[in-house]
A and B are shown apart, each in its own frame.
Chain A
Amino acid sequence: MSKQANPEYAAKDPENRLLWRVPYTRLSVEAIRDSILAVSGRLNPALYGPSMLPEIPAAALEGSSDPDKIWKASEEDEQSRRTVYVLLKRSMVVPMLEVLDLCDTARSAAKRMTTSVAPQALTLYNGGFVNKQARYFAWRLVNEAGRDPARQIERAFRLALARPPTDAERDALLQFLQEESLEQMARVIFNLNEFVYPD
């Protein structure tokens, strides 16, 4: 079976009730965050040790009963470890994890739910984490592909999507880079459907 569309089957069973294809599944938030770090080049692969506390927006702390003490972010190198090392605190779940469908941490869960709601888009497009990693990704592209935009785009697709861009995609990105920065292109790539729903 494959994830590719089969028009004949799609017409008969658009909801895939009979499982004629492998269902598309969004990456879990842990995998999304880890992938962003891996692609930006900042992933710290250190194993073991205590949990780390990623930076969270100050605004998120206002809802807690003890905003000054409840969350002291770790050093950035620690924060760049895999998401499995994020401290899970019942009274203060990291907003990025919570928004992107982390399960209820207070009880067992048979499965993760996948939702597609606007606060997730706000987190991934406007949030501090993604925008910071987009900057690192842009630096990486310059380091590894030099100053030629076409080579930067090629490298970006290889790193983020594990495939070369199509001609149409390359053209769209080249046009974008005429007006916007590499960092902004990196930000868009982290938000692509294909990035979180890999083939």
Chain B
Amino acid sequence: MEVGQMRRQWVDYIKSLFTEEFLDGQFLQLQQLQDENNPEFVVEVVSLFFEDSERILKDLSFSLDQQSVDFKKVDAHVHQFKGSSASIGAQRVKNSCIAFRNFCEEQNIDACLRCLQQVKQEYFLVKNKLENLLRLEQQIVAAGGSIPMMELSF
């Protein structure tokens, strides 16, 4: 595939991630912070997000699996997850976290368990999308092209 075609594919793909609300404007902020001095910045932050998310999901599953659930602790984990998903622009994960926190306050264990499943699902969806996007970027760069940030007009 020639570079021009890959660049068009990247633009179409990232636009679909915005229209389907997987990502929000914060992700563009990350892209803008990446330059020739820091060509790996987005990959670095996204990898940190993956590591952090998977640790939080493990902690959440553990906390909700206890005989008597400490909802304050659960809420603290969800708060963290909400923060990191907001920082990366993972909009749907962030929104699931907001709903999750309401049920922590209500101390509703069934709803919390449902929310955990939903947050997990949204996380793995966006993880998959981000991996596809970053793979495309790597292919463009490897072929000697640059990421067509200018073509993203929102």
- A complexed with B: no
Q: Which residues of A contact B (CB under 8 A)?
A: none
